[in-house]
């Protein structure tokens, strides 16, 4: 049996962990034989020393082997999923899953909750009365077979090692490690049993990856892990310097998603969603035009079917915050910058996000962008509308927005929403 202290020392000094040692580490840790303090030390060593490609493949495989794998063999359509690294106003999953399903693929979307300035897909959908995030494996397969798509929480049995490791990383300042990020994401996605996977790696001020080089490195690492596990995988790098769409907040983003499914979506949101849909359908081997499915109502019908299959009432009114305030334009001109990170923090402080995983969130709080970069604005007109359950929250939200808005005499240069593709 290996000695965990020897393994920590070896990685600390730049050595390589052997595959059997990695398997033993993961089994021993999830079985309670390795203390959190020791695993924290190993994570810090990995943070500084990294994992080579073979080590990372073994590390990810051991995380997957720590639990069960979802069996989707009863689903008749080819399966394909999408994962986003998170951003502000990123409600793409709510539109994308039913859109791709309406084109003939099956989408098993295991999603998460928001933390800090980034929103969580499950938090958004839970603003719909009756909708359930927690489904067992049989229910997941049943919804996939009937609606063609499902958006739900990952079960406790999928990659349980990741749940424990993520909690440690969060409190030991080891989150920002590409090998640890990649293995965390890909262990869950591979364990869910999808045949193909498209990664939406956000880049910019409101993203986890601020610089394109780091985003590219993460994307390439995850694409490699997917390919090694037999999952057809590609990635799109997408811009996250300004909020995606015009809404940031749970019910507000559901409302905007439904509008997009009706053909009334903001241009940037539609551009990113269609690019990801085309990529997903290509990997799944399905020939279809998602733009047509968005325009003719098929995607909206599939969304409604998915929501109802998970206990939700697609026609029920969404919660509306009782308090609102506006941020006006200080001068006339063109909106040149609207910082995504600042808007995300403001939405969080208004109640739409959480500082800790156990915190409650407001369904109705958030920010509506009445103008986006490139729009011509007039002094005094509303640029942002803030929504909250308690007007006492407005002060700190307004503080977060200081310096986030820039107005100039000329519009900014148009920027593509999709920066590049990485994959086979």
Q: DSSP characters for 316-381?
A: SPPP--SEEEEEE-SSSEEEEEE-HHHHHHHHIIIIIS-SSTT----SS-EEEES--TT-EE-TTS
Judgement on whether residues 159 and 252 belong to the same structural domain of the protein: yes
Instruction: Quote the pLDDT of residue 113.
Output: 81
List strand residue ranges (DSSP E) for 3-97, in order: 80-84
Same domain, 41 and 142: no
The reported pLDDT for the residue numbered 116 is: 65
Question: What pLDDT tens digit does each residue of the chain (424 aa) get?
Answer: 788 999 999 999 999 999 999 999 999 999 999 999 999 999 999 999 999 999 999 999 999 999 999 999 999 999 999 999 989 999 999 999 999 999 999 999 998 887 667 778 999 999 999 999 999 999 999 999 999 999 999 888 889 999 899 888 888 989 889 999 999 999 999 999 999 999 999 999 999 899 999 999 999 999 999 999 999 999 999 999 999 999 999 999 999 999 999 999 999 999 999 999 999 999 999 999 999 999 999 999 999 999 999 999 999 999 999 999 999 999 999 999 999 999 999 999 999 987 777 778 999 999 999 999 999 999 999 999 999 999 999 999 999 999 999 999 999 999 899 999 999 8
pLDDT of residue 191: 94
Q: Tell me the catalytic residues.
A: 83, 162, 169, 184, 188
| Residue 100 host element (H or E) | helix 92-102
Identify whether 92 is part of a domain: yes
pLDDT at 123: 93
Q: Which domain holds residue 43?
A: 4-50
Is 66 part of a structural domain of the chain? Answer: no
- Does residue 170 lie within any of the structural domains? yes
Number of domains in the chain: 3
Question: With b meaning 16 or more CB within 10 Å and e meaning fewer, what string describes 379-417?
Answer: eeebbbbbbbbeeebbeebeebbeebbebeeeeeeeeeb
How high is the pLDDT of residue 187? 96
Token pair of 296, please? Answer: 């003719």
Does the residue 380 lie in any domain? yes
CATH number of the CATH domain containing 41? 1.20.970.10
pTM value is 0.94
| Residue 353 within a domain | yes
Same domain, 246 and 149: yes
Q: Do 294 and 375 have their domain in common?
A: no
| Same domain? 299 vs 393 | no
Say if residue 208 is in the same domain as residue 349. Answer: no
Same domain assignment for residues 329 and 304 = no
What angle do helix axes 92-102 and 298-309 make, rounded to 10 degrees? 110
CATH of the domain at 97: 3.40.1030.10
């Amino acid at each position: 049996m290996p000695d965990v202290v020897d393994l920590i020392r070896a990685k600390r000094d730049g050595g390589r962990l052997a595959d059997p040692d990695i398997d033993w580490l993961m089994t021993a840790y999830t079985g309670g034989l390795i203390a959190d303090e020791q695993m924290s030390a190993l994570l810090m060593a990995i943070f500084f020393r990294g994992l080579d490609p073979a080590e990372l493949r073994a590390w990810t495989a051991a995380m997957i082997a720590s639990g069960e794998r979802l069996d989707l063999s009863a689903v008749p359509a080819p399966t394909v999923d999408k994962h986003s690294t998170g951003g502000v106003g990123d409600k793409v999953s709510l539109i994308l899953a039913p859109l791709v399903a309406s084109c003939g693929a099956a989408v098993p979307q295991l999603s998460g909750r928001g933390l800090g300035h980034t929103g969580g897909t499950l938090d958004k959908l839970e603003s719909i009365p009756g909708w359930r995030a927690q489904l067992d494996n049989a229910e997941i397969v049943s919804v996939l077979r009937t609606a063609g798509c499902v958006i739900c929480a990952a079960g406790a049995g999928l990659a349980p090692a990741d749940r424990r490791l993520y909690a440690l990383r969060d409190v030991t300042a080891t989150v920002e490690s590409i090998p640890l990020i990649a293995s965390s994401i890909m262990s869950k996605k591979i364990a869910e049993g999808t045949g193909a996977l498209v990664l939406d790696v956000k880049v910019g001020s409101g993203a986890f990856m601020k610089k394109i080089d780091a985003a590219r490195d993460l994307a390439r690492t995850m694409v490699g892990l997917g390919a090694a596990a037999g999952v057809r995988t590609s990635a799109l790098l997408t811009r996250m310097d300004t909020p995606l769409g015009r809404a940031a907040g749970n019910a507000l983003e559901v409302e905007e998603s439904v509008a997009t499914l009706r053909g009334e979506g903001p241009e940037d949101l539609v551009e990113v969603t269609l690019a990801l849909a085309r990529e997903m359908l290509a990997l799944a081997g399905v020939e279809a035009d998602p733009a047509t499915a968005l325009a003719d109502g098929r995607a909206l019908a599939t969304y409604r079917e998915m929501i109802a299959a998970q206990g939700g009432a697609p026609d029920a009114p969404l919660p509306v915050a009782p308090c609102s305030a506006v941020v006006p334009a200080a001068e006339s001109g063109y909106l040149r910058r609207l910082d995504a990170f600042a808007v995300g923090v403001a939405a969080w402080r208004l109640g739409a996000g959480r500082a800790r995983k156990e915190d409650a969130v407001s369904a109705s709080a958030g920010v509506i962008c009445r103008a986006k970069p490139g729009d011509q604005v007039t002094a005094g007109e509303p640029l942002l509308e803030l929504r909250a359950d308690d007007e006492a929250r407005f002060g700190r939200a307004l503080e977060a927005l200081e310096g986030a808005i820039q107005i100039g005499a000329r519009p900014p240069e148009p920027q593509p929403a999709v920066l590049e593709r990485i994959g086979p």
